């Protein structure tokens, strides 16, 4: 926190300079992403180039002055880790998730510790490290091996539109593991700190347990504080900036308690700020009604925080040292892969998972990012005084190993999802089964409706009774000619398989179609445009949607006057917004309350149709299988919901 203790015009200038550099970093990393470089790795690479190792745009003095940006970013990263853990989403596969998570944490840590310790004692490069420091570093490295990147796995899942038992179990394990690694790291960190200071006694062990418990309790208090901030009605971006400051305050508070305890008790009391922030994030996601706004805060703020954090990580790297230790980075990466494989196999065995799940359960956990790098920064900050600058060297090895995981992890996870056939990449996502509409009558209006439905990925058939050569049928729309309205002709055009039927014929022919449909094929989504208003009574018994052109125009103008934006959305006039009906077929979602679903923030549920009854939805609406749910939102978000609901 030296930046605030020694605040000067130079300090502010350094900070402004760095923030300007970050703007360039974001642009350059976005360009590198086009060549297949992960965003996190791209930011680190740009940081290396602008740092003292290459171009020197940011000097070591600047990095030292703005070190507080690490803590500012770490608070947010812990919030983000907590936001991934939504208990109601993992309850369906909790048994498998439970065993896989326990194994993922304990076995990965144990195997990682043993293999890293063996490497320290057999490789010449590590000969100059004291024996006790080797044990400490092995414990710290093993705890970092447990960390993984849920965001990277989510990106792969979204790209491949994957879903299934393996996918849902993997996500549950990833989210729970992030909580486990921060708790594990807090214990290991405090234990090593006590041993290294020569004060490990029974009292010290009690203090460590006390620190962990109090950190969790403070996390709940921070969660309440976050909820209060989220309820404040102020500018969105100002509110999100204040939430980032709340996360940073956990580090300020922790440093203050450490100094006070050392002054009055001659013993450091360390309340773990990462654990505080993560618990607060879990509290907001699971115990408040501000879950969606908090997720939006993570999504919006993450773009800026990650640029600041990962660029500074890259600028801090000594590129020459990275090249010297790169072979050991590969070794550490292989050690971690072995640890993950053994952990996933044992966890799958305890959960009684399928053999393929046991063998491939490690693939989602390869990639590491924010949490891992954050823990490395804490190690560098706390144990910098160990001899021979060994902490710096080990940090370089771990960071290089993480960069390797950024390249190797996603392709392997994609392969595993494809092998297990849980991907939907080659399918059209708008509907898992294309819907079909039959339009009776060929005229300009029917062609316009047909073209619009075709653009929405419907199968469209236009049925005519006589040839009209003056009108051209658009590409992709079928035209079928029949002689009359009877069951023989309707069976030939597979009328029974149509999801919707639209009639643009004369009122006499429209009435014949409605009679045959009602008596032979049951209730259809049948829309009829009548030509004479006096003929409306002819259709009253058929339970259809009746439209008269003059009424439709009057009602449309009325709606535009009273609700211009809403009418534009319903008519498809708003860019990237549409209304879509989705049938719920996913049994894991069936029975859930609307308020418990993790819906995208730009999606609104309008109504639920169940047994021909329309239910206006609210937070306590319980969704059941075969419900037809009407959503309003962006096409991208509705595509994801369709995949999730329409299993």
Per-residue pLDDT, 407: 79
Q: Contact at 8 Å (CB) between 309 and 66? A: no
pLDDT at 377 over 50: yes
For residue 14, is it within any domain?
no
pLDDT at 200 over 70: no
* 539, containing H or E segment: none
Higher pLDDT: 14 or 516? It is 516
Give the residue-averaged pLDDT of 430-457: 81
CA distance 601 to 599: 6
Range name among 71-75, 118-122, 143-147, 578-582 with the lowest pLDDT average: 578-582
Q: pLDDT grade, residue 367 (50/70/90)?
A: confident
Give the residue-averaged pLDDT of 445-450: 88
Give the residue-averaged pLDDT of 466-483: 80
Asked if residue 455 and residue 356 are part of one domain, the reply reads: no
Per-residue pLDDT, 600: 75
- The DSSP code for 606 is E
Listing from the earlier edge strand, what are the strands of the sheet with 478-481?
Answer: 478-481, 459-464, 436-440, 500-503, 525-529, 545-547
Q: What DSSP line would sit under 401-458, residue for residue?
A: HHHHHHHHHHHHHHHHHHHTT---TTS-SS-SS--EEEEE--SHHHHHHHHHHHHTT-
pLDDT at 155 over 70: no
Domain termination site, one of 394, 419, 444: 419
Per-residue pLDDT, 339: 93
Neighbours of 200 (CB within 10 A): 15
Q: pLDDT grade, residue 629 (50/70/90)?
A: confident
Per-residue pLDDT, 334: 93
pLDDT at 337 over 90: yes
Asked if residue 293 and residue 150 are part of one domain, the reply reads: yes
Give the residue-averaged pLDDT of 622-647: 79
Per-residue pLDDT, 374: 77
Structural domain containing residue 525: 436-556
Q: pLDDT grade, residue 627 (50/70/90)?
A: confident
- pLDDT tens digits along 384-395: 778 767 888 888
CA distance 363 to 352: 18
Asked if residue 218 and residue 73 are part of one domain, the reply reads: yes
Is 545 strand, coil or helix?
A: strand
Range name among 171-175, 325-329, 486-490, 511-515 with the lowest pLDDT average: 171-175
Largest Cα–Cα distance in the chain?
99
- List of residues 6+ apart from 150 with CB closer than 8 A: 81, 84, 171, 174, 175, 178
Asked if residue 440 and residue 410 are part of one domain, the reply reads: no
For residue 44, is it within any domain?
no
pLDDT at 88 over 80: no
Is 155 strand, coil or helix?
A: helix
For residue 8, is it within any domain?
no
Per-residue pLDDT, 338: 94
Output the CA torsion sign for 63, 66, 71, 74.
negative
Per-residue pLDDT, 332: 92
Q: pLDDT grade, residue 315 (50/70/90)?
A: confident
CA atoms within 13 A on the CB side of 610: 13
With vertex at residue 291, the alpha carbon angle to CA 287 and CA 293, rounded to the nearest 5 degrees, is: 145
Q: Contact at 8 Å (CB) between 422 and 414? A: no
Give the residue-averaged pLDDT of 540-553: 80
Give the residue-averaged pLDDT of 301-326: 81
Asked if residue 343 and residue 216 are part of one domain, the reply reads: yes
Q: Contact at 8 Å (CB) between 162 and 171? A: no
Higher pLDDT: 28 or 104? It is 104
Give the residue-averaged pLDDT of 77-81: 82
Per-residue pLDDT, 427: 45
pLDDT at 428 over 60: no
Domain termination site, one of 556, 589, 624: 556
Q: pLDDT grade, residue 225 (50/70/90)?
A: very high
CA distance 640 to 629: 14
Range name among 177-181, 273-277, 308-312, 378-382 with the lowest pLDDT average: 177-181
- pLDDT tens digits along 160-171: 767 777 877 787
pLDDT at 25 over 50: yes
Q: What DSSP line would sit under 312-362, residue for residue?
A: HHHHH--HHHHHHHHHHHHHHHHHHHHHHHHHHHHHHHHTT--HHHHHHTT
**CATH number of the domain that residue 198 is part of:** 1.20.1530.20
pLDDT at 201 over 70: no
Range name among 88-97, 186-195, 405-414, 503-512 with the lowest pLDDT average: 88-97
Give the residue-averaged pLDDT of 281-306: 86
State the average pLDDT for the chain. 81
pLDDT at 295 over 80: yes
Per-residue pLDDT, 341: 93
For residue 80, is it within any domain?
yes
Per-residue pLDDT, 535: 82
Q: pLDDT grade, residue 572 (50/70/90)?
A: low
The per-type count for the chain, helices as H runs and strands as E runs, is 24, 10
Give the residue-averaged pLDDT of 108-119: 92
pTM of the full structure: 0.65
Q: At what angle do helices 291-316 and 202-230 cross, to 10 degrees?
A: 120
- List of residues 6+ apart from 288 with CB closer than 8 A: 223, 227, 230, 294
Asked if residue 453 and residue 412 are part of one domain, the reply reads: no
Asked if residue 180 and residue 78 are part of one domain, the reply reads: yes
Per-residue pLDDT, 426: 45
Asked if residue 617 and residue 511 are part of one domain, the reply reads: no
pLDDT at 212 over 60: yes
For residue 312, is it within any domain?
yes
Asked if residue 453 and residue 478 are part of one domain, the reply reads: yes
For residue 572, is it within any domain?
no
pLDDT at 113 over 90: yes
Domain count, the chain: 3
Asked if residue 542 and residue 409 are part of one domain, the reply reads: no
User: Residues of the chain with pLDDT > 90: what percent?
Assistant: 12
pLDDT at 154 over 70: no
Domain termination site, one of 522, 556, 590: 556
**CATH number of the domain that residue 635 is part of:** 3.30.70.1450
Asked if residue 492 and residue 640 are part of one domain, the reply reads: no
pLDDT at 38 over 70: no
**CATH number of the domain that residue 552 is part of:** 3.40.50.720
pLDDT at 325 over 80: yes
- pLDDT tens digits along 487-534: 889 989 989 888 899 999 988 899 999 888 888 887 678 899 888 878
For residue 54, is it within any domain?
no
pLDDT at 431 over 50: no
Q: Contact at 8 Å (CB) between 370 and 83? A: no
Give the residue-averaged pLDDT of 265-292: 85
Per-residue pLDDT, 221: 94
Per-residue pLDDT, 114: 93
Asked if residue 636 and residue 534 are part of one domain, the reply reads: no
CA distance 322 to 54: 13
CA distance 332 to 372: 14
Give the residue-averaged pLDDT of 68-88: 81
Per-residue pLDDT, 37: 65
For residue 561, is it within any domain?
no
Q: Contact at 8 Å (CB) between 482 and 458? A: no
CA distance 93 to 84: 16
């Amino acid at each position: 926190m030296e930046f605030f203790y020694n605040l000067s015009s130079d300090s502010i200038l350094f900070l402004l300079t760095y923030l300007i550099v970050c703007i360039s970093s974001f642009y350059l990393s976005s360009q590198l992403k086009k060549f297949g470089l992960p965003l996190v790795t791209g930011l680190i690479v740009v940081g290396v180039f602008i740092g003292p190792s290459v171009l020197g745009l940011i000097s070591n003095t600047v990095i030292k002055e703005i070190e507080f940006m690490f803590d500012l970013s770490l608070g947010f990263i812990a919030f983000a880790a907590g936001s991934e853990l939504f208990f109601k989403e993992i309850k369906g596969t909790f048994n498998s998730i439970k065993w896989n998570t326990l194994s993922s944490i304990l076995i990965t840590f144990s195997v990682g510790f043993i293999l890293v310790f063996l490497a320290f004692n057999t490789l010449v490069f590590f000969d100059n490290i004291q024996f006790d420091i080797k044990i400490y570093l092995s414990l710290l490295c093993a705890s970092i091996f447990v960390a993984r990147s849920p965001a990277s796995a989510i990106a792969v899942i979204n790209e491949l539109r994957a879903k299934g038992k393996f996918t849902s179990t993997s996500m549950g394990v990833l989210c729970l593991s992030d909580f486990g690694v921060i708790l594990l790291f807090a214990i290991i960190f405090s234990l090593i700190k006590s041993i290294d200071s020569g004060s490990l006694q029974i009292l010290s062990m009690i203090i460590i347990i006390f620190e962990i418990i109090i950190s969790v309790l403070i996390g709940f208090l921070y969660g309440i504080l976050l909820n209060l901030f989220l309820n404040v009605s102020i500018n969105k971006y100002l509110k999100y900036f204040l939430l980032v400051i709340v996360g940073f305050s956990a580090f300020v508070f922790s440093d203050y308690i450490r100094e006070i305890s050392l002054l009055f008790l001659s013993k450091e009391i360390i309340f773990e700020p990462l654990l505080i922030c993560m618990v607060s994030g879990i509290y907001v996601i699971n115990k408040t009604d501000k879950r969606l706004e908090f997720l939006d805060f993570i999504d919006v703020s993450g773009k800026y925080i990650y640029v600041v954090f990962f660029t500074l990580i890259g600028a801090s790297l000594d590129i020459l040292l990275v090249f010297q230790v790169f072979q050991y980075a590969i070794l550490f990466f292989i050690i971690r892969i072995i640890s993950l494989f053994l952990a996933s196999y044992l966890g799958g065995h305890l959960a009684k998972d399928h053999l393929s799940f046991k063998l491939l359960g490690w693939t989602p956990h390869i990639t590491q990012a924010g949490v891992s790098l954050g823990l490395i920064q804490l190690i560098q900050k706390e144990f910098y005084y160990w001899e021979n600058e060994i902490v710096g060297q080990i940090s370089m090895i771990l960071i290089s190993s993480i960069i390797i995981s950024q390249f190797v992890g996603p392709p392997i996870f994609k392969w595993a999802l494809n092998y297990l056939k849980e991907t939907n990449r080659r399918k059209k996502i708008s509907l898992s089964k294309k819907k079909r509409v039959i339009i009776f009558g060929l005229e300009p209006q029917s062609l316009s409706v047909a073209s619009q439905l075709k653009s929405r990925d419907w199968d469209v058939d236009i049925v005519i009774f006589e040839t009209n050569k003056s009108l051209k049928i658009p590409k992709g729309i079928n035209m079928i000619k029949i002689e009359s309205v009877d069951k023989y002709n309707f069976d030939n055009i597979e009328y029974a398989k149509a999801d919707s039927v639209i009639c643009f014929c004369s009122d006499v022919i429209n009435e014949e179609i409605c009679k045959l449909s009602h008596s032979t094929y049951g209730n259809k989504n049948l829309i009829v445009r009548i030509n004479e208003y006096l003929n409306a009574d002819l259709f009253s018994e058929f339970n259809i949607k009746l439209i008269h052109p003059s009424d439709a125009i009057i009602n449309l103008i009325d709606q535009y006057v009273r609700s211009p934006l809403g009418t534009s959305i319903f008519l498809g006039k708003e860019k990237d917004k549409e209304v879509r009906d989705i049938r719920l077929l996913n049994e894991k979602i069936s029975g859930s309350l609307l308020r418990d679903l993790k819906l995208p923030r730009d999606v609104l549920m309008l109504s639920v149709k169940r047994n021909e009854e329309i239910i206006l939805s609210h937070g306590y609406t319980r969704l059941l299988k075969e419900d037809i749910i009407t959503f309003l939102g962006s096409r991208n978000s509705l595509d994801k919901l369709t995949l999730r609901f329409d299993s």
